[in-house]
């Protein structure tokens, strides 16, 4: 007979396997787009929607999914989300057209939008404070580990099987996760949770969907494009209306009083900054490793392992160091480590030795882990038990929206520097992306274009990394000045913050 402690850790391990599939899904599709364009006769706009349909639905569901979990049972809704994700993955592997795959990707986004906040909201409900930091490290690490493994796995599957295998691989992982969650993890809910706030849900879903759509389209269409401007403007207006509406009603979807807790506020903001840095690095790195350094999809994933290894090492270390030094000290350490790691990366050249690349990737990974894991623990410690779902949904909404904004903004910076360095006389196709420039140069044997494109992209990557380092440094100063005291005792911090919110 398994003890309660053993059951929850085995259950989290199985849940981590399912979360690994969600991590795969964020990157595995990138290596498959050329294959999908041929096999499904998909044009550029259809390929874009195959990618974006998932992100739009995912972002829109994070807040209402957390509230529904609080009301109807987090375990029950988590199982439903996993089931939807697995069923949509199976459907995506069997469709024979781009339209069907777009619909399947939307279904996967619905499932993922439920799994992400609900899986996080179960951590404070089933793990005591002394185990929660380690549980969050496992939760964060399983998602993060899927990111570099996506291209690795995708390259292997596409080399040996048909394109649908990149979606089919999710199914057994989700099934194992569902069985283990059902058997090992307890149910948790709050019977006093208010009914679903339909007006707030509509405002949050539509506002986030429009905002995310706008920032996704911005690097492609330009920030001054009417569709981009109107989408972002309408999204911000709806989110502003959401904040105004939620601050007036008695039972809100998004309880703004949570931000009165310093732990919740600064844990959420620091976690968002960690997500921004990770998103920026994961955006520029694959193209640098593939187009500039010549690695294939499998080799790219392999070369990104130091980043994820650093993240996992830091997560393990945080579990041991948090009780001794407190969360504030660890978050500051992580944010300050990110600065030299990212600045060192800005000195990368097309021909830099891989040992140099691996070094700054490892430092960046360690810094991200030290910033992200204790920040998430701090945010969860600031949540009352009856708001675990809603609070976790709010944390994840801020993190995911920050990541989408970061990719759009940093992508625009990278693109602007790349085009400026390449010059106006370069061929149009080469100015579109470094991948197209390399393909054109190799096809025409234009070695000068190849050299210029690789140098230009490396300059764009340097600008992104320096910008991310600046954000990390500013965040470190804010945490140092604004987080009132080290949260050495998460249980005490949680108790005092509950009293503060209740008042």
Do 230 and 271 lie in a common domain? no
Report the pLDDT averaged over residues 179-199.
72
Do 406 and 480 lie in a common domain? yes
Determine the Cα–Cα distance for residues 144 and 393; give it in Å rounded to an integer.
19
Express each pLDDT in 112-126 by its tens digit: 888 877 877 777 777
Boundary-marking domain end, from 224, 252, 280: 252
Do 282 and 173 lie in a common domain? no
Tokens of 165: 């295998």
Boundary-marking domain end, from 196, 223, 244: 196
Q: At what angle do helices 44-72 and 388-422 cross, to 10 degrees?
A: 160
Query: Where does the pLDDT of residue 91 fall: very low under 50, low under 70, confident under 90, or very high at 90 and above?
Result: very high
- Checking if the pLDDT of 44 tops 80, the result is no
Phi, psi of 352 (to 5 degrees): -60, 140
Q: How many CB atoms are located within 10 Å of the residue 195 CB? A: 8
Q: What pLDDT shows up at residue 33?
A: 66
| Alpha-carbon separation of residue 10 from 18, 170, 297 (angstroms) | 13, 20, 33
Phi, psi of 112 (to 5 degrees): -65, -35
Do 329 and 422 lie in a common domain? yes
- Of 189, 179, 222, 217, the residue nearest 121 (C-alpha): 189
Boundary-marking domain end, from 227, 252, 277: 252
Do 111 and 180 lie in a common domain? yes
Tokens of 323: 């009780």
Residue given tokens 């269409």 in the structure block:
221
CATH code for position 288: 1.20.1250.20
- Of 299, 261, 286, the residue nearest 495 (C-alpha): 261
Do 222 and 269 lie in a common domain? no
Do 2 and 118 lie in a common domain? yes
Do 129 and 80 lie in a common domain? yes
End-to-end Cα spacing for the chain: 43
Determine the Cα–Cα distance for residues 179 and 260; give it in Å rounded to an integer.
39
Is residue 384 within 8 A of residue 498, CB to CB? The reply is: yes
> How many domains is the chain partitioned into structurally?
3
DSSP annotation of 224:
T
Do 329 and 384 lie in a common domain? yes
Do 44 and 169 lie in a common domain? yes
Do 385 and 477 lie in a common domain? yes
Range of the domain at 94: 1-196
Q: What pLDDT shows up at residue 296?
A: 75
- Checking if the pLDDT of 495 tops 50, the result is no
Q: Please indicate whether residue 141 or residue 503 has the higher confidence score (pLDDT).
A: 141
Length of the chain: 503
- 489: exposed, middle or buried (Cβ count in 10 Å: 0-12, 13-18, 19+): middle
Q: What pLDDT shows up at residue 152?
A: 75
Express each pLDDT in 351-405 by its tens digit: 899 999 999 999 998 998 898 878 877 777 766 666 665 676 677 777 777 776 7
Residue given tokens 């009293």 in the structure block:
499
Q: Which residues contact 14 (CB under 8 A, 6 or more apart)?
A: 176, 177, 179, 180, 181, 184
Do 320 and 455 lie in a common domain? yes
Query: Where does the pLDDT of residue 219 fall: very low under 50, low under 70, confident under 90, or very high at 90 and above?
Result: low
Determine the Cα–Cα distance for residues 281 and 216; give it in Å rounded to an integer.
17
């Amino acid at each position: 007979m398994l003890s309660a402690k053993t059951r929850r850790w085995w259950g989290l391990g199985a849940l981590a396997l399912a979360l690994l599939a969600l991590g795969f899904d964020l990157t595995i599709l990138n290596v498959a787009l050329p294959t999908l364009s041929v096999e499904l006769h998909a044009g550029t706009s259809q390929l874009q929607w195959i990618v974006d349909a998932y992100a739009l639905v995912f972002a829109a569901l994070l807040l209402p999914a957390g509230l529904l979990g609080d009301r109807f049972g987090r375990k029950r809704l988590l199982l439903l989300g996993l089931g939807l994700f697995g069923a949509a993955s199976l459907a995506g592997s069997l469709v024979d057209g781009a339209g069907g795959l777009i619909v399947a990707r939307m279904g996967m986004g619905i499932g993922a939008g439920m799994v992400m906040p609900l899986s996080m909201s179960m951590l404070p409900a089933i793990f005591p404070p002394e185990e929660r930091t380690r549980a969050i490290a496992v939760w964060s690490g399983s998602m993060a580990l899927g990111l570099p493994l996506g291209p690795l796995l995708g390259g292997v599957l596409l080399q040996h099987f048909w394109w649908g295998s990149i979606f089919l691989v999710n199914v057994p992982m989700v099934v194992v996760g569902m069985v283990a969650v059902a058997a090992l993890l307890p149910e948790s809910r709050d019977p006093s949770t208010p009914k679903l706030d339909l007006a707030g849900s509509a405002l949050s879903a539509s506002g986030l969907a429009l905002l995310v759509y706008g920032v996704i389209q911005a690097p492609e269409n330009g920030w001054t494009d009417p569709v981009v401007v109107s989408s972002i403007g309408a999204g911000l207006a709806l989110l502003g209306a959401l904040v105004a509406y939620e601050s007036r009603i008695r039972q809100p979807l998004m309880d703004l009083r949570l931000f009165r807790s310093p732990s919740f506020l600064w844990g959420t903001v620091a976690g968002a900054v960690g997500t921004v840095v990770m998103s920026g690095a994961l955006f520029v790195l694959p193209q640098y490793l593939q187009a500039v350094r010549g690695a294939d999809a499998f080799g790219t994933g392999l070369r990104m392992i130091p980043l994820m290894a650093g993240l996992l090492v830091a997560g393990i270390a945080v579990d041991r160091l948090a009780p001794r030094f407190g969360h504030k000290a660890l978050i500051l350490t992580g944010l300050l480590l990110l600065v030299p790691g990212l600045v060192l990366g800005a000195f990368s050249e097309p021909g830099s030795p891989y040992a140099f690349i691996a070094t700054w990737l490892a430092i960046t990974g360690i810094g991200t882990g030290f910033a992200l894991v204790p920040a998430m623990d701090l945010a969860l410690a600031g949540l009352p038990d009856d708001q675990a779902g809603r609070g976790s949904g709010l944390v994840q909404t801020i993190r995911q929206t920050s990541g989408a904004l970061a990719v759009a903004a940093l992508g625009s910076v990278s693109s602007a520097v790349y085009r400026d360095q390449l010059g106006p006389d370069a061929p149009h196709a080469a100015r579109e992306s470094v991948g197209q420039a390399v393909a054109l140069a190799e096809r025409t044997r234009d070695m000068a274009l190849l050299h210029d494109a690789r140098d230009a992209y490396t300059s764009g990557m340097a600008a992104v990394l320096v910008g991310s380092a600046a954000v990390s440094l500013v965040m470190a100063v804010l945490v140092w000045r604004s987080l009132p005291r080290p949260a050495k005792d998460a249980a005490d911090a949680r108790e005092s913050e509950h009293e503060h919110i209740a008042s």
